[in-house]
Structure 1
Amino acid sequence: MFIRTPADLGAVIRDRRRQLKLDQAAFAKRIGVSRQWVIEIERGHPRAELGLVLRALDALNIRIDVDADQTVRRRAHGAVDINAIVDKAKRPGHDQ
């Protein structure tokens, strides 16, 4: 999946929260934020504090894996192709 915008990230967070059967209030309490913060991040608020976003992703077991030295295929608009990163990491002989 490509995450290109804050709205894309919000959708991922919302979908995973729902998969885990957490309501917004319970999720907010788990990560130490207000329910309003959860509402805003799920709606794609573009100015959410990075530390809180990372805490939210961690609470949902959503992992971000970045290899700064890796060449990544990009679409014309510059989005990172996560599938290409995963495919390369799964190839035999890839250092892990």
Structure 2
Amino acid sequence: MAEHVRTYSRTTREALQLMGGQVRLARKQRKMSEADLAARIGIARSTLQLIEKGHPKVEIGLMFEAATLLGVPLFVEEPSRLASQIERVGDKLALLPQSIRRPRKEVNDDF
């Protein structure tokens, strides 16, 4: 059985590369070794290297944990604002329908 090769959009690849680069830059600015950061996250050094390269197969939680430990902003400049942003998204979602259905095909009864 052939393995399915997933492709990612250019925007996704660039965003991953940017986040990985920010993690690497922050680690180096804090004069932290790969081994030290990997140990703090609880991962192998090789996984940290994949994070810093922006590899798309790395778990997003690991990427975010590395960024958080190094002070790299996630979505907002101030981490304390994340809760209010989550609440805003929740409020918007509450206004939308619970499920989305495909539009019914309109019956053409014009004979």
Q: Please, what TM-score do these two structures have when normalized by structure 2? A: 0.54
Partner of 2:30: 20
Partner of 2:55: 45
Matched residues, number: 68
Deviation of the 1:42 alpha carbon: 0.9
Which protein is richer in helix relative to its size?
Answer: 2
Aligned-CA RMSD value = 2.2
Deviation of the 1:36 alpha carbon: 0.2
Partner of 1:56: 66
- Max radius of gyration: which structure? 2
Q: Residue 6 of structure 1: which of 10, 16, 37 is its match?
A: 16
Q: Please, what TM-score do these two structures have when normalized by structure 1? A: 0.61
Deviation of the 1:6 alpha carbon: 1.0
Which consecutive unaligned segments of at least 5 residues does structure 2 have? Answer: 1-11, 77-81, 89-111
What is the alpha-carbon distance in structure 1 between the residues aligned to residue 60 and residue 45 of structure 2?
A: 17
What is the alpha-carbon distance in structure 2 between the residues aligned to residue 59 and residue 47 of structure 1?
A: 20
Deviation of the 1:54 alpha carbon: 1.5
Q: Deviations over 1:25-83 (max 9, x none)?
A: 001001111100111111110121111112111110122227486xxxxxxxxxxxxxx
Which consecutive unaligned segments of at least 5 residues does structure 1 have? Answer: 70-96
